[in-house]
């Protein structure tokens, strides 16, 4: 799929999807409807009406690469299409896009995390808030796939479903403490991947044992041990100083329940201290991992996992208006979540220095030629 562009990917994948509209009464080709919505979201539109207005303003340009046999689809048409499309099929768009950007995920860091769609809650309709669990490659900003649940606690069952959708052979999967389950670890190892997973109280004795182990030694003492590696990292900017110490240790056989954790090779700790003016805060976080005692790889995995919050969840909230969205009927919220993630991925292919995500969205809204560049440029791995 290397060399495909976004328009070609949408046309190819959507043409294989089941069209749930009444046969013989459809005025608009399904790939056209999906592409019009994608264009509107890239340009910063947050409602069906806004997407329709954007498309009407750009109709002549849209006709240069879309059929539009009956003009621009109405906002009601777009809403109906997204309401009834099966999310299990719709997420194939994410997989097609990420597959065009990455020929393989081997050697990549894949972060898995969940986020609630606050706008999907509807008390009148009795609809619970939906929760999306995503697999994300921070290096390229590509969301590989997603799974929807109706409760955050269901993330534990959603993660194995997500792992079944993607090829993680040779990749390192990072998860927060919610994913710290022996069954999830076993599945990652069985599929040929590595893991770095956060620890909290949900694993009781394991977390307590690792915490107590690292409490008894200082980073300086760890540096003297052949079984331990240490890395110091300092960031300064905007009146803030972040100091972090990464420690990884391969003495793990003493851990309670060691034999239950498939592939377990090391335990890790991150000590962080933040200074803003006269105020200081500090914390320690603990991890288990199948990685060897390589502190550089461990530190990179931990930092990349934080990027799913900054590079995906925060951007979807702030730049794409996810939490402001009133799109909530039936399957529309999770299908629109796919489009937002596609828009985020595509805009990140513009690597112009100092051009923020908001600036890219404004530019796409203002300049059709820039939006066309984002949509039609060949997608090749450049990361």
23, part of any domain: yes
Give the Å distances, CA to CA, from 227 to 18, 221, 252, 265.
55, 11, 10, 11
Residue 294: closest CA among 359, 237, 231:
231
238, part of any domain: no
288, part of any domain: no
Q: Look at residue 171 and give its three-state secondary structure.
A: coil
75, part of any domain: yes
Q: What is the pLDDT of residues 270-282, one digit of tens each?
A: 999 999 988 999 8
297, part of any domain: no
Residue 195 pLDDT class (50, 70, 90 cuts)? very high
* Total of domains in the chain: 1
Residue 240 pLDDT class (50, 70, 90 cuts)? confident
Give the Å distances, CA to CA, from 104 to 107, 138, 144, 215, 378.
8, 15, 12, 40, 17
- For residue 324, what are its two tokens? 């402001």
Q: Look at residue 282 and give its three-state secondary structure.
A: strand
Give the Å distances, CA to CA, from 16 to 19, 92, 93, 216.
9, 10, 11, 59
Residue 221 pLDDT class (50, 70, 90 cuts)? confident
The pLDDT value recorded for residue 226 is: 74
Q: Look at residue 104 and give its three-state secondary structure.
A: coil
Q: What is the pLDDT of residues 41-64, one digit of tens each?
A: 999 999 999 999 999 999 999 999
Domain around 69:
6-98+326-376
Can you say whether residue 42 is alpha, beta or left, with left for phi > 0 and alpha for psi between -120 and 50 degrees? Answer: alpha
Q: Look at residue 276 and give its three-state secondary structure.
A: strand
Residue 1 pLDDT class (50, 70, 90 cuts)? very low
111, part of any domain: no
The pLDDT value recorded for residue 120 is: 53
351, part of any domain: yes
The pLDDT value recorded for residue 371 is: 96
Q: What is the pLDDT of residues 280-289, one digit of tens each?
A: 998 999 999 9
348, part of any domain: yes
Q: What is the pLDDT of residues 322-341, one digit of tens each?
A: 667 667 678 888 999 999 99
């Amino acid at each position: 799929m290397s060399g495909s562009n976004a328009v070609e990917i949408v046309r190819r994948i959507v043409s294989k999807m089941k069209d749930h509209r009444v046969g013989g009464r459809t005025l608009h080709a399904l790939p056209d409807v999906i592409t019009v919505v994608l264009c509107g979201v890239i340009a910063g539109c947050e409602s069906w009406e806004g997407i329709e207005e954007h498309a009407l303003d750009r109709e002549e340009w849209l006709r240069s690469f879309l059929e539009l046999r009956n003009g621009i689809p109405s906002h009601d048409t777009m809403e109906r299409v997204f309401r009834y499309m099966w999310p299990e099929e719709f997420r194939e768009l994410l997989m097609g896009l990420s597959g065009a950007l990455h020929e393989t995920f081997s050697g990549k860091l894949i972060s898995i995390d969940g986020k609630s769609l606050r706008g999907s809650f509807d008390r009148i309709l009795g609809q619970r808030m939906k929760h999306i669990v995503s697999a994300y490659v921070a290096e390229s900003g590509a969301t590989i796939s997603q799974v929807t649940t109706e409760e955050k606690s269901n993330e534990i069952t959603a993660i194995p479903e997500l792992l079944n959708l993607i090829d993680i052979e040779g990749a390192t999967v990072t998860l927060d403490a919610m994913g710290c389950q022996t069954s999830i670890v076993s599945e990652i190892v069985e599929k040929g991947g590595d893991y770095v997973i956060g620890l909290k109280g949900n694993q009781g004795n394991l977390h307590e044992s690792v915490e107590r182990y690292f409490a008894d030694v200082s980073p300086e003492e760890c540096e003297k041990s052949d079984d331990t590696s240490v890395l110091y990292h300092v960031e300064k900017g905007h009146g803030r100083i972040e100091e972090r110490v990464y420690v990884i240790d391969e003495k793990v056989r003493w851990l309670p329940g060691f034999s239950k954790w498939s592939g377990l090779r090391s335990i890790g700790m991150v000590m962080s201290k933040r200074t803003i003016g006269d105020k200081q805060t500090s914390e320690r976080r603990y991890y288990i991992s199948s990685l060897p005692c390589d502190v550089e790889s461990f530190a990179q995995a931990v930092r990349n996992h934080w990027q799913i919050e900054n590079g995906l969840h925060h951007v979807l909230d702030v730049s794409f208006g996810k939490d402001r969205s009133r799109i909530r009927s039936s399957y529309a919220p999770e299908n629109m979540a796919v489009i937002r993630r596609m828009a985020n991925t595509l805009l990140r292919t513009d690597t112009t220095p100092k051009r923020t995500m908001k600036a890219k969205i404004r530019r796409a809204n203002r300049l059709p030629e820039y939006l066309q560049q984002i949509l039609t440029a060949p997608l090749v791995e450049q990361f």
